Amino acid sequence: MYVFLIIVAVFQLFPIVWLFLFSLKNNQEVFNMSPFSLPETPRWENYAKVWTEGNISQYFLNSVVYTVAAVVLTVLLASFVTFALTRMNWKGSKLVLGLFMVGLMIPVHSTLIPLFSTFTSINLIDNPLSIILTYTAFNLPITIMILLGFYEALPREVEEAAVMDGASINRIFFQITLPMTSPVIATAAIINMIYNWNEFVFVNTFISSDVYKTLTVGIQNFIGQYTTDWGAIGATLVISILPILIAFFVLSNRIVEGIAAGSVKG
C-alpha cells in the first residue's frame, strides 16, 4: 500500500516539478531539448522579467483581491442562507433551497451573454465588482450544499441554551454557530479559492483594462503574433500556483477535519 501511495504521489508531483524546470528554460531549450531534461543554465531572470516587464505584480494583486473578496462574501452569504434554512421555520424554505440548488444545473458559460448585457446596462463592464459578484453568485449553490449537511448535524442544545439566556439571533450566529462550523468553512473556502483563482472566461469577457486583469488572463501578454516566450509563460504559471499550494498546506488539517466531520455527522 505504501509503495502504491508513493507511486501516486510521484505522479502527482511530477507536473509541478516539470513546470518549474520548464520555467527556467528559454525557447531554444524548450523545443530542442527533451521535455524531461534539466536547463543548461537556469534562467531565473524569467521570473524577474514577468514580475516587472510583464506586469504580473499587478495581475497577482488583482487575483488576490478578487479571490479573497469573493471567498469571504460567498462563505458569509452561504452561512446566512444555511443558518436560515436549518435553524428557522418559515414558509418557502424548501422552495428557496430548491432555487439555490437549481444553480448547480446551469452551465456557467451559458450565462455570459445575459451577464454581459446586464453589466453593460448598469455600467459594470471593466469593473472589478462584476468579477466579484459573478464569482459569488456561481459559488453560492455548491457552498450552501457543502454547509447544509454540517449544519443539519450540529447539536441545537447550545443554541437553545443561548436563546434561554436572552441571546439575539445575530449573537447566536456570529458567536456560537459560525465558530462551530469553522472546519467545514475552511473546506468550502479552499474550494472557492481554487475556482476563483483559476477562472479565466469571466475575466477575459468582462475586463478589458490591464489594470484590472488577473494572472490567468495576463499570461496572454507573452503570446505574440510571431513569437511566444515560453519560459516567461512557465514562470507566470509557477507564480500562479504558489498561493494555491501554500493555502492548501496551511489549511490542509482544517480541510480534512471538515470532510471527516461532514462524512461522520452527515
Residues forming a β-bridge with 228: 223
Identify the sign of the CA torsion 182, 135, 210, 15. positive
pTM (predicted TM-score): 0.84
The residue with cell 456557467 is 108
Q: Which portions of the chain are predicted below pLDDT 70?
A: 224-227, 252-266
* 8 A C-beta contact, residue 79 and residue 178: yes
Give residue-wise pLDDT tens across range 187-203.
Answer: 899 889 989 998 999 99
Give residue-wise pLDDT tens across range 44-65.
Answer: 988 988 888 778 889 999 999 9
Domains present along the chain, CATH in parentheses: 55-217+241-265 (1.10.3720.10)
